[in-house]
Amino acid sequence: MSRVLITGANKGIGFEAARRLVAAGHTVYVGSRDVERGRRAAAEIGTVAVQLDITDDGSVNAAVAAIEADGGLDVLVNNAGIQTEMGADGTVLGAAELTADMMRETFETNVFGTVRVLHAFLPLLEKSDAPVVVNVSSGLASLRRITTEGDTAYQYPGVAYPASKTAVNALTIQYAKAFPGIRINSVEPGYTRTDLNNNLGRQTVQEAAEIIVRMAQIGVDGPTGGYFDINGELPW
C-alpha cells in the first residue's frame, strides 16, 4: 500500500479521491490550506490531515517535514487549484477583461504552487520504490481541443485558467523526462460540480475522482509523461 498526499483535499474532487484511496487501503494525507477544515475532512474518512498552502514556502516545507517524519511519500496528487475568472453566476471573464493581476493570481496557485510542491517533495518521492505524481489538469489545457470548433473546450472564453493548465501539462512532460523513475502524468477529471466552478459542472465528484484514483495507483510499468481522462489518452 502507498502513502499518498493530495493537495486541496478537504473538499470536492480531492476529498473524494482521498476517500476512495483510503477505502482501497492506502495511507492518505489530506492537504488543506485551512487547518480546521482539513482536520474535519480527514476525520470523516479516517485519515491524516496536513496543513498545506501551496503558495507558501514555509507551509510546504513544514508539510514535507511532517510527512517525512511519518514514513515518507509514494504518491503526490497536485489537485489544489483556482479559477478566478469565473463569477458566482457562472459568467466567465474573457480576453477583453483579462488583467495581468488575474493571470498572476491564477498562475501563483495553479502553476507556481504546483512547482513549489513538486520541488519540495521530489526528494521524498525518489526514496520510494514506486513513486507517482498525478497533476490534475483540465480539458481546457488541450491546445487541440480549444482550437477545434464544435469541441466544448472551444466555447470557453476564459484565458487564465486554460493557460495555467496548459502550463501544468508542460510541467508534466518536462518533469517526466527529467525523472524517468517516477510515473508523472496529467489527468482531466471532467467538468464537475465543485466550488471551483460554483457547482455548475455536469458530473459528480465521484465520476471525476475515478481518473485520479486510477492514475494514483499505477505501478512501475505504468505510463509516464501522458495526459489522460477516464476514456484514455488526450491530445495535447
Q: How far apart are CA 174 and CA 172, in angstroms?
A: 6
Which of 29, 161, 175, 227 is flagged as catalytic?
161
8 A C-beta contact, residue 212 and residue 187: yes
Q: How far apart are CA 209 and CA 53, in angstroms?
A: 21
Q: Calculate the alpha carbon distances from 32 to 115, 191, 192, 197 in Å.
A: 17, 22, 20, 19
Q: What are the grid coordinates assigned to 108, written together? A: 501563483
Which of 11, 156, 165, 175 is flagged as catalytic?
165
8 A C-beta contact, residue 195 and residue 2: no
Query: Nearest to residue 14, comparing CAs of 35, 59, 45?
Result: 45
Please count the other Cβ atoms lying within 10 Å of the Cβ belonging to residue 100: 8
161 catalytic, yes or no? yes
154 catalytic, yes or no? no
Q: How far apart are CA 28 and CA 48, in angstroms?
A: 7
Query: Nearest to residue 191, comparing CAs of 155, 148, 233, 143?
Result: 155
Please give the positions annotated as active site: 161, 165
